[in-house]
Structure 1
Amino acid sequence: MPNLIVTTCGTSLFTNGISNELRSEFFKYANHRHWADMPDDVVLRLQQHAELQQQKLLVADADVVKRMSAELNSLLSWQKDKQMHQQDMHILIATDTALGKATAETIENWLQTQGYNVTIISTSGLNTASLQSFREALSGLIPLLIEQVTNYKDSGYQILFNLSGGFKSLNGFLQAFSTIYADETFYIFESSSEVLSIPKLPFYFDTTQIISAHLTAFRRLAAQLNVNKEETNQMPSILLFSIDDEVALSEWGELIWQSSYKALYKSQLFPSISNRISFAPNFESSTKDLDPFILKIVNERIVDLAVFAEGDCKSVLKSVDPKPLQEKQYKDKNLWECDLDPHHRIFMVKDGYSFSLQYVGPALH
């Protein structure tokens, strides 16, 4: 079975064994997102050092590689006596900093020389400059990571998390994330060369009760729509955080929602989340015999249409593509359609910035 290995990246590759003066500069500019934000002389020194470390890494033997990089030390120690698969895939999580991205790119280059396929992912604000920005970045990272992990899991991959590199706040959260999605998590134990491996825990993370109790709020918050304070006041505070005067799903709220909504949306048709989206009398009955996958999309489109309508129909996701039907027999009725998949549509009547969903049916072309 091939492996998907998700690795958090820090900057140990650049900071191990360097002078105090250079180390001081690394720490001073650790959270700067762009090289252009740093003095030219500092950029020159840091980039020269990074280039030198990359050259050393690419020609180093395994023992030297392990001394140079915490991420690769953990990976190579875990791989000892294991047979790797030619389809193994690596995802590197880089911080949103110039130095963090440079580290991830160097590790990517080394892994590629070993014959591995590698992808680097990150999200805006994934650094330690601001707690609020960091939490927003985690909320953005979750759906991206879940999509990757789920796709590989469905393709027969074993999911592994290598959490030796990176900063503690990120790894602490991903440790919790990995208990849900990873088959195994590993990292180097303290300063030794021993690998601490944590297998998948034998329990099911059931969030149905808490989501069902606050379903409309979850759906609106996940779509970045406003929610009444009365609704959010009843939700556990750990699931939310405030941005200025607005409330959003916290990283934990996002994790719970992203882990659960697909199965939930396959189970039944859920009500509209907006007073601008209504159901005609025959709409619900037209969804009764739908395949669960199509039903999931219907529930998703109801939310997408709410976002479209509450934004006064000014912008819309390309996958939704709401448009009026041009044939005369439909045009006279102001009938519109919304894409579900190549073969199914939601047909609806538009009235100002509101839509009445009439029925789900086959595409007309």
Structure 2
Amino acid sequence: MPNLIVSTCGTSLLTNNNDTCTLSPELRKLFTKHANLQNAADCPSNERLPIDNHLRQRTSDVKQANDAELAKLSAEMNAIFKFYDGKTTPQDMHILIHTDTWLGRETGNLLREVLSQRGFSVDTPTISDLRTQDLDSFQLALSELVKWAVETLPAYQQQQYKVIFNLTGGFKSIQGFMQTLAMLYADETVYIFESNKELLRLPRLPVRLDGEQIVRDHLAVLRPLALGLPVSRDAVDALPETLVLRLDDDRALSPWGELLWQQHKTAIYGAGLHAAPSTKIHFTDTFQRSIAGLSPDRYERLNQQIDKLAQYLHSQRATNLKSLDVKALHVPRHGGCTHEFDAWHDQNAKRVFGWLKGDTFTCEILENGVGH
């Protein structure tokens, strides 16, 4: 079974001392000072110059280093080498979670080169605003991290990959949240034990988030909030406090709210067609009859398309996704319907027909598309 190894990345690869390069106290202070700087261009030139010189030297050192030398430089690579114990699996995939900062990207890119040189496929996704300078932005970034995990990790497990979280490196605030994600999405979590010589391996615990009823009870608010649609402040403030991130006058799902939503959305969507997440969408009685008796996976897909339709209408029709494909009918159908959009493409492809007036769409019937 191939492995997918997800490693959180700090900057130890850039700052640990080796035989050819020792950070002076002054240079170490510069790395600490600019740890959360997003772009190198924002660093004062007199401070950027010594950092750039060090990065060039460290890149050269890393490319020439053997495994033992790399293990001393990089906490992440130390754990990876101990995980393989000299027996690598070429079909394994590595994902490096680095901060959305100048030095975080430098570390991620350098680790990607190291792993690529050893024959591995590597991905370095960017989680926007994943840095520890501002708490509100950091919590929004954790919500994005949840979405990434939901969209990425189950697909690998379906392809029979074993998902390993390597949480040896990285910042403690990110590690802490990744430990929670590991309980839900990782088959195993690994750390370097305090001796720095042994690998601690923790199997997945039989844990599940039992929050489906909470999501069902608050679906009318959680759903538009997750989609970025307008929701009344009073309605959002009535949600359990742990589900909401309050940013001055704005509201968003907290990382825990996002985690609950992503965990239970599929089951809830598969139970049937739910009330539209926007007042810009209406369902006629004819539409309700046309969708009766669908299978759970079709209900799930239909609810997802309704979500995309709501986002399309609230964007003043600027985000017509290819998977939604809202378009006008050349010849009115089904009692004068003027528009249609995709319900699903696979199996027996279906489209929803209705009327689009201004920014309001009325769904009239689920039927075969033109030409089907």
Q: Is TM more than 0.5 here?
A: yes
Instruction: Return the offset for 1:191.
Output: 4.9
Instruction: Decide which of 62, 66, 71 is 1:61's aligned counterpart.
Output: 66
Instruction: Decide which of 327, 330, 333 is 1:326's aligned counterpart.
Output: 330
Structure 1's consecutive aligned runs of 4 or more residues displaced over 6 angstroms after TM superposition are: none
Structure 2 distance, partners of 1:196, 1:227, is 45
Structure 1 distance, partners of 2:289, 2:194, is 59
Question: Which residue of the partner structure matches residue 9 of structure 1?
Answer: 9
Question: Which residue of the partner structure matches residue 357 of structure 1?
Answer: 363
Question: Which residue of the partner structure matches residue 181 of structure 2?
Answer: 177
What SS does the aligned partner of 1:325 have?
strand
Instruction: Return the offset for 1:194.
Output: 1.7
Where in structure 1 are there 5+ consecutive unaligned residues?
none
Question: Which residue of the partner structure matches residue 76 of structure 1?
Answer: 81
Where in structure 2 are there 5+ consecutive unaligned residues?
18-22
What SS does the aligned partner of 1:75 have?
helix
What does 1:212-291 correspond to in 2, within 5 Å?
Answer: 212-291=216-295
Contact 2:302-2:344 at 8 Å conserved across structures: no
Moved more, 71-80 or 48-57: 48-57
What does 1:49-128 correspond to in 2, within 5 Å?
Answer: 49-80=54-85, 83-128=87-132
Structure 2 distance, partners of 1:239, 1:194, is 38
Deviations 1:9-67 (A, max 9, x none): 11001111222111011011111111111122332322221222222222222221110
Question: Which residue of the partner structure matches residue 20 of structure 2?
Answer: none
Matched, 1:134 2:138: yes
Rate the CA distance shift 1:287–1:332 in 2: closer, same or farther, 3 A: closer
What does 1:194-205 correspond to in 2, within 5 Å?
Answer: 194-205=198-209
Q: Which amino acid in 2 is paired with 1:117?
A: S
Structure 1 distance, partners of 2:133, 2:258, is 22
Structure 1 distance, partners of 2:210, 2:256, is 14
Contact 2:245-2:251 at 8 Å conserved across structures: yes
What SS does the aligned partner of 1:270 have?
coil
Instruction: Return the offset for 1:281.
Output: 0.8
What SS does the aligned partner of 1:275 have?
coil
Structure 2 distance, partners of 1:189, 1:179, is 19
Instruction: Return the offset for 1:117.
Output: 0.1
> What is the number of residues matched between the two proteins?
363
Structure 1 distance, partners of 2:83, 2:315, is 50
Q: Which amino acid in 1 is paired with 2:341?
A: C
What SS does the aligned partner of 2:275 have?
coil
Contact 1:265-1:296 at 8 Å conserved across structures: yes
> Percent identity between the aligned chains?
37
What does 1:179-194 correspond to in 2, within 5 Å?
Answer: 179-194=183-198
Moved more, 107-116 or 31-40: 31-40
Instruction: Return the offset for 1:267.
Output: 2.4
Q: Which amino acid in 2 is paired with 1:89?
A: M
Question: Which residue of the partner structure matches residue 297 of structure 2?
Answer: 293
Rate the CA distance shift 1:314–1:65 in 2: closer, same or farther, 3 A: closer
What SS does the aligned partner of 1:267 have?
coil
